Structure 1
Amino acid sequence: MSKKPRRSYDAAFKLQVVNMITTQGLSISQVCQDMRLGESMVRRWLQQFKAEQSGLPGIGKPLTPEQQRIRQLEAEVRQLKSDNDLLKKAFRLLCPGAEVTYQVIKPLQAEKAHSLKQCCRVLEVSRSGYYTSVKREQDVKPVSEVAVQLTSVFEASGRCYGSRRIRAALVNKGIPIGRYKVRSLMRQHQLRTVWKRKFVHTTDSNHPLPVYDNVLNRQFRPEAPNRAWVADITYIRTLAGWLYLAVVLDLYSRKIVGWAMAPSMPAELVCSALKMALIQRQPQPGLIVHSDRGSQYASHEYTQLIEDYGLIGSMSRKGNCWDNSVMERFFLNLKMERVWRRQYANHPEAVKDITDYIVCFYNSQRLHSGLGNVPPNVYEQEMARA
C-alpha cells in the first residue's frame, strides 16, 4: 500500500484560507470540506495569524530582521511614553512653578534642539507666559557699579551718611556723580538714615561762681591749630544709668583733642578732658578755651587749670546755645550716628563704643563738610604739608 504524497502550502495560500474565515465569514468546517484540508492544520494557521497580528512571532516561524526592528522600535516607544508619563507626574508633584519651567526652556531654545511649541506642550506651559517672562528679564536693569560703591560707602559710614557726604565720598574715590543722582539711587535701594531725638538738660548756669567773657564771639574759623578750642558736656543713656561725656574740640580742624567720661558731672570730669587735650597737643599760651556757663567750667579746679597753662577762658552768653554751636553739632552727630542706634548695657560698653567713634571714625574717617569733605586728621595733614 503506497503512502499519499505530503502536501505543502506556501504563505500566500495560508493567508488566503485565513482570510476566507476571518473576513469572508466562512466557517472552518466549510473551508476544510471544500478545500480538503485538515481542521487542526487550519486552526493552527489561524492561531499563527492572530499571534503575528498581536506582535508575537508566528508559531514555528521566526520574525524577519525587518519585523524584529519594528518590534524593537515599538518597545522603545512604549518605554519612552512610560518614562514621559512618570516625569510629568513627578514634575507636577514637585510644583516648581512657571518661572522655573521657563528657565528650563531657555537653554533648550538656545541650543535650537527643540521648538518652543514642543517645549511648552511637553512641559505644559503657555508660549505667551514664556514670552512675558523673557520680556520681564530684559526690563530688569542690572545693578551698576556706582550703586555698589554707593551702598558700600553708606554701610561703611554706619548707615549715617546723607546724600551730600555720600556724593563727596564717591568723588574722592574718582567716581563723578551729582547729588541728585545719589539721592535717586538711595531711594531706589532704600538707603535711609533713621535718627531719634532725646534731651536731657546738663548745663547749670545758676551759680554764684565767676564766669569769663565771650572772648571767642563765634569766631569759629581760626587760622591755625591750637588757637581756639571749645568744650562742653553731654549725656549718654545706658541701662545702668546716665553716663556723662566731656569733650574738647579744636575749631581749626574740628578734631576731638580731649575727652573724658564718668557716671556723674563733677569738675574733675571737665578737667580730665582738658588735661588730655593739653598733653596731646602741647599748645602755646594764649589759646582760647570756650565753654558754656556750667558750674563745672566755672569751678575753681577748672579756672586754675586755665591759668596754670596760660590759656584764655571764654564762655557763652547765658541761654545762648549758638555761641557754642560747633560743639552742639558734634554732640548731635555723635548721637545720631552712634548713640541713638545702640542700647548700652553698662558704662564700660558705652565708653568703649564712644571712644571707637571718636578715634576710629570721627577723627579718622568721617567726611566733614566744613573741611572740604575730608576727615579732621586728613585736613590737618594736608594743611601741614601746604
Structure 2
Amino acid sequence: MAHNGNRYSEEFKRQIIDLYLSGKPVKELADEYGLVEQTIYKWKKLYAATIKVDENKTISLKEYNALQKKMRELEMENEILKKGYSHIRQKTITEIVAFITKYQTIYPIKLMCKVLGINRSTYYKVANKVDSARTIENQKLDADILAIYFATKRRYGAPKIHHELLNQGWNISLKRVQRRMAKLGIHSIVIKKYRHYSSNKRVAEKDNILNQDFTATGINQKWCTDITYIHTQKDGWTYLASVMDLYSRKIIGWAYDINMSAELAIKAVKNACLNVSNPEGIVLQSDLGTQYTSDIFERFLASRKICHSYSRKGCPYDNACIESFHALIKKEEIYRHVYKDSKEAYDSIFEYIESWYNRKRTHSSLGYKTPAAVHAECAA
C-alpha cells in the first residue's frame, strides 16, 4: 500500500482512471500500483464519467465493461486457436489434452475445450489418468514455471524463475529449472549489450562528481537521469526521460513527450522531487546532452539545490545504471511492440515502470527484492 502523503502527477491519476474504465477492479489497481482504494474512488469522481462512443451516443460503465470482457474473451479464443494449431500436429485427443494442461494457468479450461472442440468431461478423464510420481511432479513444476514466466510477461529467465520457485516451497536445482524450460521451449528475452557510437560533436567537459561510484547508504543521496528514443507510427520518434535512485534502483520520476527538450528533462526531475521534502544536496548524474547542459535545466537544479554531476564525453559507463534501465525497458517491453501513436506508447511505458519494474521485478543486486520494496524499507 502507498504511504499516506504520497503525491502523484495529473498524468498518473488520469492513467489509473483510464485503467479503471478499461475494466480493472479498484482493488486490483490498488494492489498493483500501491495505492489506497479510497484514493482511486476519489480520483474516479474527478475524472470518470459516462463513456462517449460518438457525438450522439454514450454508454454506461457497466455496458463498457461488458464489451471489454467480450473483447478479452474473443482475443483469448483467437490466441488459443493460433497456439493450438501451431503446437498440435496430429490433432489427437492426447495432444489436445496436453496443450490444455500446459496452458491451463493462462487460459480457462472451459474456454480452451470449447475452442479446440473437446468435451470437458473427456479432457478431465484423459488428464486425470494415473501417472508416475515424477511425471505428476514435473507437470506441477511446468505449470508453476509457466505461471511465473507468463506473469512476468516472459521477462524472467531460469535464475529468477528458480528463485521464485524456491520462495514457493520447491526444493529443486537451477539445472532442473533450465531443463524444464528447454523442454517447454521458453526462455527470457535476451538483452543486447550496450554499443556506444562515438560522436564528432565537440562538448565541453564538466565536473564528474559521481565518478562511477554508484553506491549509496540510503535513498535520495544519488540519482541518475537520461533520455531515450521510442518510435511510433503516427508521431514518429518520441522521448522518455527517466530518473533513478541509485540506492533502490527505483524509477522515482519520469516524463514522456513527442519532443526532446530541456523541459522534458526538467519534468522528469520535478516528478522525482514530488515525494522528497528537501532535495538539497542530492547528486544527479546526467550525460552531456544539450537538454542537461542547458541554462534552463541548470537553473532548475540550482533552485532545488541539487548537485549536477556529468558523465565524461563518450563514456556511457559513467551513467551505466540508467543506460541499463533504458536498455531493459526496450528489450522487455518497447521492442516487442509496434506503437500506433504516442498514447499507446505512453500506456505501455506507464504499465512497465509503475506496475512491473518498480513493484514486481526483483533484482539480484537488491537481494531479489523489488526497487519499491527497498525504497519503502529505507523510507520507513
Give the TM-score category using the shorter length.
0.5 to 0.7
Match of 1:239 among 233, 249, 260: 233
Q: How has the CA–CA distance of structure 1 residues 170 and 283 changed in structure 2, closer, same or farther, with 3 Å as cutoff?
A: farther
The structural deviation recorded for 1:139 is 10
> Cα distance, 1:368 vs. partner?
1.1
Q: Could you list the runs of 5+ residues in structure 2 that have no partner in the other structure? A: 1-90, 95-128
Task: Supply the AA of the counterpart residue of 2:243.
Answer: V
- Offset, 1:218: 1.1
Using structure 1 for the length normalisation, give the TM-score. 0.60
Q: Which residue of 2 aligns with 1:300?
A: 295
Residue 154 (1) aligns with residue 157 (2)? no
Q: Give the stretch that moved more between structures: 182-191 or 288-297.
A: 182-191
Q: Which residue of 1 aligns with 2:328?
A: 333
State how far apart, in whole Å, the 2-side matches of 1:271 and 1:192 are.
38
In structure 1, the residue matched to 2:340 is: 345
- Alignment pair present for 1:218 and 2:182: no
Alpha-carbon offset, residue 284 of structure 1: 3.5
CA contact (8 A) 2:225 2:284 kept: yes
**CA 1:173–1:222 in structure 2 vs 1: closer, same or farther (change >3 Å)?**
same
The residue number in structure 1 matching 2:169 is 174
* 1:127-174 deviation digits (Å, cap 9, x = unpaired): xxxxxxx9x999976643222111111001111111111112222333
What TM-score comes out, normalization by structure 2 length?
A: 0.61
In structure 1, what residue type is equivalent to 2:374? Y
For 2:174 and 2:378, locate their aligned partners in 1 and report how far apart those are by CA, in whole Å: 27
Compared with structure 1, are the counterparts of its residues 97 and 221 closer, same or farther at alpha carbon in structure 2 (3 Å cutoff)?
closer
TM-fit CA distance, 1:98:
12
Give per-residue Cα distances to partners, 1:257-284, cap 9 Å, x unaligned.
1111111211111011111111233344
- Structure 2 distance, partners of 1:378, 1:363, is 8
Structure 1 residue 380: Cα displacement: 2.3
Distance 1:273 1:139 in 2: 52
SS of alignment partner, residue 313 of structure 1: strand
- 1:35 match: none
Q: What is the CA–CA distance in structure 2 between the aligned matches of 1:173 and 1:193, rounded to whole Å? A: 20
- Identity value in percent: 33
Query: Structure 1: how far apart are the matches of 2:186 and 2:360?
Result: 20
Structure 1 runs not aligned, ≥5 long: 1-95, 100-133
Structure 2 residue aligned with 1:270: 265
SS of 2:275's equivalent in the other structure is helix
- Structure-2 residue corresponding to 1:78: none
| Contact 1:203-1:294 at 8 Å conserved across structures | no
Q: Distance in 2 between matches of 1:215 and 1:97?
A: 66
SS of residue paired to 1:236: strand
Distance 1:377 1:368 in 2: 11
Q: Would you say the 8 A contact 2:229–2:240 is kept in 1? A: yes
* 8 Å CA contact retained: 1:296, 1:302: yes
**Partner Cα separation in structure 2 for residue 142 and residue 341 of structure 1:** 33
Within 5 A, what are the aligned runs for 1:88-107?
Answer: none
- Return closer, same or farther for 1:380/1:370 CA change in 2, 3 Å cut-off: same
C-alpha change, 1:170 and 1:198, in structure 2 (3 Å) is closer
1:313 partner letter = H
Which residue pairs with 1:373 in the alignment?
Answer: 368
Decide which structure has the larger Cα Rg and report it.
1
Give per-residue Cα distances to partners, 1:169-217, cap 9 Å, x unaligned: 2223333332222111110111123458699999989466x66311011
In 2, Cα distance between the equivalents of 1:145 and 1:98?
A: 21
3-state secondary structure, aligned to 1:302: helix
2:261 & 2:138 partners in 1: Cα distance?
Answer: 54
Cα distance in 2 between the residues matched to 1:349 and 1:337: 16
Counterparts in 2 of 1:148 and 1:265: CA distance versus 1, 3 Å? same
